[in-house]
Amino acid sequence: MQAAPAFDGLSCLSVTQVLDVVFQAWVFVFGFGFIALVCVLDLNPLLLLLMLDQAG
**Domain extent at residue 32:** 12-55
pLDDT tens sequence across 1-44: 555 555 555 566 688 888 999 999 999 999 998 888 888 777 77
19 three-state secondary structure: helix
- Higher-confidence residue: 19 or 48? 19
Q: Is residue 4 included in any domain, yes or no?
A: no
pLDDT of residue 42: 77
Output the pLDDT for position 37: 82
Rounded Cα distance between 22 and 55, Å, is 26
Inter-axis angle of helices 46-55 and 11-43, nearest 10: 130
The pLDDT assigned to 26 comes to 93
Query: What is the rounded distance in angstroms from the CA atom of residue 7 to the CA atom of residue 27?
Result: 28
Return the pLDDT at 21. Answer: 92
Query: What is the pTM (predicted TM-score) of this model?
Result: 0.42
SS3 32: helix
Considering its fold, how many domains does the chain have in total? 1
- Please report whether residue 36 resides in a domain: yes
In a domain, 5, yes or no: no
